[in-house]
Amino acid sequence: MLITKKAIGAAILGAVLFSGCVGPNDFVYEGENYGSKRTDSYKDGVIAGCKTAKGSYRKNHEKFNTIADYQEGWFAGRRRCQGPIW
């Protein structure tokens, strides 16, 4: 067999390093881990903010003006999905 213990160890190490530290309750969107224990309003805000950054304006103005988690999520999603500013 051509596979050595060293190769198997390297493959396992690579998988662990590249998998990131994502817990079962973490909110991950577009490859970004926003952490655990995020409210539904925060998640909705991230998704809307990201879609806005990609050119499809989305914002629930009532939530944005009244729910801090939605507003925080919206800005986080927009920052994350915004292209480079050169």
Between residues 72 and 9, which one has the greater pLDDT?
Answer: 72
pLDDT for 2: 56
- Give the domain ranges of the chain: 23-81
Q: What is the pLDDT of residues 50-85, one digit of tens each?
A: 999 999 999 999 999 999 999 999 999 999 888 776
Closest CA to 48 of 33, 31, 60, 32: 60
Please compute, for residue 66, the number of CA atoms within 13 A of its CA located in the half-sphere on the CB side: 4
Q: Answer yes or no: are the C-beta atoms of 61 and 76 closer than 8 Å.
A: no
Query: In whole numbers, what is the pLDDT of the chain averaged over residues?
Result: 79
